[in-house]
Every structure is written in C-alpha cells, then in structure tokens.
C-alpha cells in the first residue's frame, strides 16, 4: 500500500503552527489528522473510536485557544491521540503505550500541553475548575476547558464539580468551559437517565442551530446585546433551562462537533465570555471510519495491529482463555444455580466479561454507568435484602469506592463478592490502570476476605467459594490469560483460609546441596513463575490461595521446616500478602528470614506485561535471582565437596 502523505499535518509541530494556517485549510488538516490517527493505531493498537470522534474538536480547540497558556483537560484522556499529534508528538505515536514510549493518556511529565494526567474518568471538570479558580486568584487571564464525554458525565464526581464550579467563591467566579462530547456511547451503549435527558436536548437541536447562526450574524453589532437579552428571555419561554444552567453554567448547544464552521465561531464566542460556560457538542464515536461508526463497542480499542481496510479480525489461532472469560462463564453458571445472584458492572460490561450474562439474565444484570461508588452501595442494599450481589470491577476502578467498601459493606458485614479483574500490572494502559494495590487496601478492612486464585480453574473455584461466603470478599485475577490449566465444570468450595503445598524441596530429585532450605509462599498467578524458579533452586512452594484469612498454620509449618521463607505476589509489597506473612510470623514468635517479593513502591509505567513483570523481578528468572542474591549460593547446584 502506498505510504500515506500528510502534507499539511507534517508542517504542524505545535498548535502555534496550526494557528498560522488559513482557516480554510482546517478541514483538510482534520482529514489528514484522522487518517494519521487511524493509520497509527492500526500499527500500535490502542483506543480508536473516541479518538476518531474528537478530530475536529481537537483542531478547533487548539485553533481557538492559546494552548498551552489556556488549559485543556481531557476527561479519561483516551481520546487525546489527535491532541498528541498536534502538540509535537506526531512521530512518537509509533511508540504509543510501549515501554519507554508515550502514554495512551495525557501526562504532565510528557508534554506541557497535557495539563492534567487522566485515565480514570470524570475528573476533568474538577481539575479545570481548579485551574480556572487559580487563574482568578493569581489574576491571570487564562481559560480552562474540560472536555468530558457523555459516559464520563454519569459519574457523581462530574456533578460534584458542576455544583461547585457554577457558583462564585468569595466573589470569584471561575472562567471554566465544560465541553460535553456527546456521542451517545460509553464503552458499552450508554445507560441511565442522563442519557435520556441528553437525547431530549439533542432533539431540541433546531433551537441551538438557529440560535448560534443568529449570534454569529449579530455579533459585534449594538443589536447583539438586544438579541442576547431576547435570547435569554426566549430561552426561558421556548426551551426550559437545562440542568447545566441550573448548576450556574451558560449552556450552548447542542452543535455539530464535526463541523468546524460551527465549532470555531462558537468556541471563539465562548472564549470571550466570563463565568462558567457549558458547550454541548454532538459527535459520532469512530467518525470517519465506517467500521468503527457501525460498531463503536468493538472499535472502542484495538488490542493490537489491524488492517484498516478489513478492520479487526479474529486471530488465526484461537486465543487462550482469559480470566475475564472464566469469570463470565462462572457468573452465568452461578446465576443458573442461585436465583439470588445479581451481577453489577460500573460501565465495563465487555471488559468484565458480562455480555453473555446480560443477554441471559437481563433482570439480574445492572450496568450502573461510570459510578463505582454507587455500584458498591447498590450491592450493599441488595445484600441487605438477602440477594447475592457480585460486583465485577477492575481493581484500579474499585479504588474509587473505598469508603463504600468500608462503610457500607464491611462494617455491616454484608455478603458482597468483588470480582477484581485487572489485578496487578495491566500493561499498555500503564500506571493509572494498574491493579497493584487491592491486596493492601482491602487487607486492612475488618470482615473483608481476599482470595488469590493461581490459575483459571482456581479462579472458577475461588469465585464459587467466595459466593458462598457470608461476608465481603474479593477474588483478584489479572488481565489476560493464565497458565492454561484445564477448568473443572464442577464447582467445589475450597477449604476456607487454607493453602496447599505444591512442591517440596528435596523430594523432586533436586540435589539439595548445602544451601538453605527455602520455602516460597505464592499468592495468585505468580505461583507458576515461582514453581519454575523453585525447580532450579529445589525450593518448596506453597500455593497460598487466601491472603485473608491467611493460612497461619501453613506459614508456621513452613517456617519451622525451612531456613528461610520467600513471599511472592503481583501486588504492592507495602501492606501486601508478604506483610501478612511477616505479621503472622511475629505473632507466632517465629523468627525466620523472609524475603518479600512484589511490586515496588513506585508507579510502574505502560509496556508489554511480560516485560513489566520481568522489570519488577516477578518472572521466574527474577524470583530466582532475588533468592540467590538474598540467601547466597544456588543451593541445589552446590555440589558437596567429594570428601563430605
């Protein structure tokens, strides 16, 4: 295929270059930008639909606003590839989401144009309001713009921010502009009353178009003020105030978010206004790429390379079963068995493997929107009434609902199952999405139980075990596939709080040599690299299965029969499973050297998951090297001297 050419885009190395373009060139530039983003993502993978949908908006924003002096805050930030291309990172797009490459989300440490780091949704209005208020306090003439999607508007935090930004503080009123990018899509089809409300606003579309065209004609004439007053009066009469106006924002829209001839004059108009402004734009997720327009769910993100001419195709070799699929199958099987089961997702139906469950059990399926806090307390309410809620939630997104876990679930000891997908390193999404902390942040909560299955079969059995438990419980499993073990259809409860020995030193033909007898206590899928390392070291390996309740007897037995213990987890060392073992040993008065292996006390960047695990020393070689480094020579390879 001939190499694509981008004659205009190649001249744009900053928004200042963009702003020097004749306005008549902007449509052509947007076309090249869209083609470039599609071509780039087809080579690297990454988010697609939302980026194609913000091409014109991005051009218009950088054309009208004096970026980076004026601040743009992108909500979630998964739609910022066009922004990155226009702000000097066009050539770096080939490194997107790769180790050492640029992030898939805005990062303050990546560019001055990335004014706020995002990744988790619904933070943009709060941050932009902060920036707008800072400008007021410092007496700076600066605009702050939050660009937030209709899906992200379903989070309570967005309304907390509207509620605060819409009023003055000590006489200071922030000049914040909120742009609602309404494409009538989340990752899944949108849910909730807000979506219906926005649809009604969109149906009033004639009003906005007529009003905007009138404004642009009348602008800069004495009549303009008269027309504006009439408009305010007319608005009160013809169209009821929007909810956004009730929050104190001047609402404009809906307008066509792909029409630069609408976007630019409207943004120029709004840029000059004082006080909180709200622009409602209508876009299409995947705009300009037919396959993505037709199936915005499928084309939300590309897991890898694809040919734009044919789109996403199933790989020739069937991919390995993922933990997400194990969960989805278990959820359906469990729902068949127990009518009390209710499945809940905060806007991650596909990612959490609940499409089939939604189809088969529509009355017991709840997508609550991007509302993690609500999802947990909603579950608590269900549990109060004797139902059995299962909250399917990414480890990282559960961080949003910490108080709900403590205050609404654990204190009342309610039977809620938290199925924590993406536990541990997630790879391409990087630090914002890593599920590194759930063991530490749940272990300290009384009544909470924590299960760490080691493979696909253990995951199914652990979910079943957790579901039978009469109290709050998390089951954590990583993104992607596991060791590939066979999964037993029969669901069997695991002995509560019990681990098992998977390998015994000295009993597997290994020549023990003279080194210390070592026992490795593995929590979760790191069992498998631990077994590999243990084969080389001839060490004992325990599959602990539970972080809480911990199998204290097994810990004590291993401490008494070995010279040293090693704990391994794909979770933060600080406060993790290893800390639980240390606490257990101390409580039992057992003083044995312990090496705690896990994720470091630093944010692990984006990259290939296997490479990141190796970087963190959690692959077999890393575990082995850490043990050798701490406990001296390689025990099983040390041959006793001939005369010994």
Ligand X SMILES: Cc1ncc(C[n+]2csc(CCOP(=O)(O)OP(=O)(O)O)c2C)c(N)n1
Binding site, by residue number, is 78, 119-121, 150-152, 183, 289, 372
d(Cα 484, Cα 328) in Å, to the nearest integer? 17
Distances (CA, A) of 343 to 216, 320, 332, 338, 405: 50, 25, 9, 12, 17
- Point out the catalytic residue in the list 107, 349, 388, 400: 400
For the bound state, the minimum distance from the C-beta of residue 283 to ligand X, rounded and expressed in Å, comes to 8
79 binds ligand X (CB under 6 A): yes
For the bound state, the minimum distance from the C-beta of residue 181 to ligand X, rounded and expressed in Å, comes to 6
| CB nearer ligand DXP, residue 398 or residue 580 | 398
The answer to whether 417 and 467 are in contact (CB under 8 A) is: yes
The answer to whether 76 and 118 are in contact (CB under 8 A) is: yes
Which option in Mg ion, ligand X, ligand DXP, none does residue 347 bind, with CB closer than 5 to 8 A by kind? ligand X
> Which positions touch Mg ion (CB under 5 A)?
149-151, 183, 185
Q: Which residues 271-310 are close enough to bind ligand DXP by CB under 6 A?
A: 301
435 binds ligand X (CB under 6 A): no
Residue 178 is inside which H or E element, if any?
strand 176-182
d(Cα 237, Cα 253) in Å, to the nearest integer? 17
Q: Which residues 602-631 are close enough to bind ligand X by CB under 6 A?
A: none
**Residue from 15, 192, 328, 351 binding ligand DXP (CB under 6 A):** 351
For the bound state, the minimum distance from the C-beta of residue 79 to ligand DXP, rounded and expressed in Å, comes to 9
- Point out the catalytic residue in the list 285, 364, 479, 548: 285
Terminal-residue alpha carbon distance, the chain: 70
d(Cα 3, Cα 518) in Å, to the nearest integer? 57
> For residue 367, what are the β-bridge partners?
345
78 binds ligand DXP (CB under 6 A): yes
- Which position's Cβ is nearest ligand DXP? 351
For the bound state, the minimum distance from the C-beta of residue 182 to Mg ion, rounded and expressed in Å, comes to 7
Give me the 371-400 binding string for ligand X, x by CB under 6 A, dash otherwise: -x------------------------x--x
The answer to whether 276 and 174 are in contact (CB under 8 A) is: yes
Q: Single out the segment in contact with ligand X by CB under 6 A; choices: 137-145, 185-193, 353-361, 540-548.
A: 185-193
Annotated binding site for Mg(2+): 150, 183
Report cis status (omega within 30 of 0) of the bond before 66: no
| CB nearer ligand DXP, residue 87 or residue 122 | 122
Q: Single out the segment in contact with ligand DXP by CB under 6 A; choices: 2-10, 52-60, 149-157, 426-434.
A: 426-434
Q: Which residues 250-309 are close enough to bind ligand X by CB under 6 A?
A: 285
| CB nearer ligand DXP, residue 422 or residue 545 | 422
d(Cα 399, Cα 437) in Å, to the nearest integer? 9
> Quick one: the chain helix, strand, coil %, rounded to 5?
45, 15, 40
353 binds ligand X (CB under 6 A): no
Is 285 marked active-site? yes
For 624, list phi and psi in degrees, rounded to 5.
-60, -45
Is 261 marked active-site? no
3-state secondary structure of 109: coil
70 binds ligand DXP (CB under 6 A): no
Instruction: Give the per-residue SS3 of 346-376.
Output: CCCCCCCCCHHHHHHCHHHEEECCCCHHHHH
Q: Which residues 469-488 are close enough to bind ligand DXP by CB under 6 A?
A: 479
Is 349 marked active-site? no
d(Cα 289, Cα 384) in Å, to the nearest integer? 47
Which option in ligand DXP, Mg ion, ligand X, none does residue 458 bind, with CB closer than 5 to 8 A by kind? none
d(Cα 451, Cα 295) in Å, to the nearest integer? 36
Give the count of residues interacting with ligand X (CB under 6 A). Answer: 21
Distances (CA, A) of 598 to 397, 568, 572: 21, 6, 6
Residues found in the chain: 644
Annotated binding site for thiamine diphosphate: 78, 119-121, 151-152, 183, 289, 372
Which is nearest to 569 in space by CA: 421, 462, 424, 427? 424
Residue 32 is inside which H or E element, if any?
helix 26-44
Q: Single out the segment in contact with ligand DXP by CB under 6 A; choices: 312-320, 374-382, 425-433, 636-644.
A: 425-433
**Residue from 186, 266, 277, 525 binding ligand X (CB under 6 A):** 186
| CB nearer Mg ion, residue 54 or residue 525 | 54
Per CB under 6 A, residues contacting ligand DXP are: 76, 78, 187, 301, 351, 422, 426, 429, 433, 479
Per CB under 6 A, residues contacting ligand X are: 50, 53, 76, 78-79, 120-121, 149-152, 183, 185-187, 285, 347, 370, 372, 397, 400
Show which residues are catalytic. Answer: 285, 372, 400
């Amino acid at each position: 295929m001939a190499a694509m050419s981008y004659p205009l885009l190649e001249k744009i190395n900053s928004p200042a270059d963009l702003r020097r373009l004749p306005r008549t060139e902007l449509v052509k530039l947007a076309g090249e930008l869209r083609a470039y983003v599609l071509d780039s993502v087809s080579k690297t993978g990454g988010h697609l639909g939302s980026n194609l949908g913000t091409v014109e908006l991005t051009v218009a924003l950088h054309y009208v606003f004096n970026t980076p002096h004026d601040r743009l805050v992108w909500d979630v930030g998964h739609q910022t590839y066009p922004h990155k291309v226009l702000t000097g990172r066009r050539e770096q797009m080939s490194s997107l989401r790769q180790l050492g490459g640029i992030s898939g989300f805005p990062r303050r440490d990546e560019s001055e144009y990335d004014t706020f780091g995002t990744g988790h949704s619904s933070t943009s209005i709060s941050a932009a309001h902060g920036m707008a208020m800072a400008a007021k306090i410092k007496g700076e003439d600066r605009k702050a713009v939050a660009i937030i999607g209709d899906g992200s508007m379903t989070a309570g935090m967005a309304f907390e921010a509207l509620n605060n930004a819409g009023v003055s503080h000590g006489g200071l009123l922030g000049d914040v502009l909120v742009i609602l990018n309404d494409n009538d899509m989340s990752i899944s089809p949108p849910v909730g009353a807000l979506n219906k409300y926005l649809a009604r606003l969109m149906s009033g579309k004639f009003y906005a178009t007529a009003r905007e065209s009138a404004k642009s004609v009348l602008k800069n004439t004495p009549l303009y003020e008269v027309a504006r007053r009439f408009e305010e009066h007319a608005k009160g009469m013809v169209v009821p105030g929007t909810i956004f106006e009730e929050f104190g924002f001047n609402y404009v829209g809906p307008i066509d978010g792909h029409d630069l001839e609408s976007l630019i004059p409207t943004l120029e108009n709004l840029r000059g206004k004082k006080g909180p402004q709200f622009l409602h734009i209508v876009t299409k997720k995947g705009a300009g790429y037919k396959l993505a327009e037709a199936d915005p769910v499928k084309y939300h993100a590309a897991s890898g390379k694809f040919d734009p001419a044919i789109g996403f195709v199933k790989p020739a070799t069937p991919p390995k079963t993922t933990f997400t699929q194990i969960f989805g199958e278990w959820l359906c099987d469990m729902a068949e068995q127990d009518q009390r089961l209710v499945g809940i997702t905060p806007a991650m139906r596909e990612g959490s493997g609940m499409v089939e469950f939604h189809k088969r059990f529509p009355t017991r399926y709840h997508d609550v929107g991007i509302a993690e806090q609500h999802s947990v307390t909603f579950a608590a309410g269900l549990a109060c009434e004797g139902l059995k809620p299962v909250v399917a939630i990414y480890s990282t997104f559960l961080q949003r609902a910490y108080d709900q876990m403590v205050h609404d679930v654990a204190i009342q000891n309610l039977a809620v199952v938290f199925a924590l997908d993406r536990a541990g390193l997630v790879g391409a999404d990087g630090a914002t999405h890593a599920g590194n902390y759930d063991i530490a942040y749940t272990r300290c909560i009384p009544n909470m139980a924590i299960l760490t299955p080691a493979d696909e079969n253990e995951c199914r059995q652990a979910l079943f075990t957790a579901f039978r438990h009469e109290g709050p419980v998390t089951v954590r499993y990583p993104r992607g596939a596991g060791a590939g073990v066979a999964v037993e259809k029969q669901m069997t409860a695991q002995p509560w709080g019990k681990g098992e020995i998977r390998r015994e030193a000295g009993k597997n033909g290994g020549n023990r040599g003279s080194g210390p007898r070592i026992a490795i206590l593995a929590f979760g899928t790191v069992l498998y690299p631990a077994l590999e390392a243990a084969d080389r070291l001839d060490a004992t390996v325990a599959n602990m299965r539970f972080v809480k309740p911990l199998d204290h007897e097994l810990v004590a037995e291993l401490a008494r029969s070995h010279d040293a213990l090693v704990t391994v987890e794909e979770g933060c060392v600080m406060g993790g499973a290893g800390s639980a073992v240390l606490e257990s040993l101390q409580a039992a008065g057992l003083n044995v050297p312990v090496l705690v292996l896990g994720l470091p006390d630093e944010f692990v960047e984006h990259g290939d998951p296997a490479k990141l695990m190796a970087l963190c020393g959690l692959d077999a070689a890393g575990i082995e090297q850490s043990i050798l480094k701490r406990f001296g020579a390689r025990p099983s390879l040390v041959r006793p001297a001939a005369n010994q």
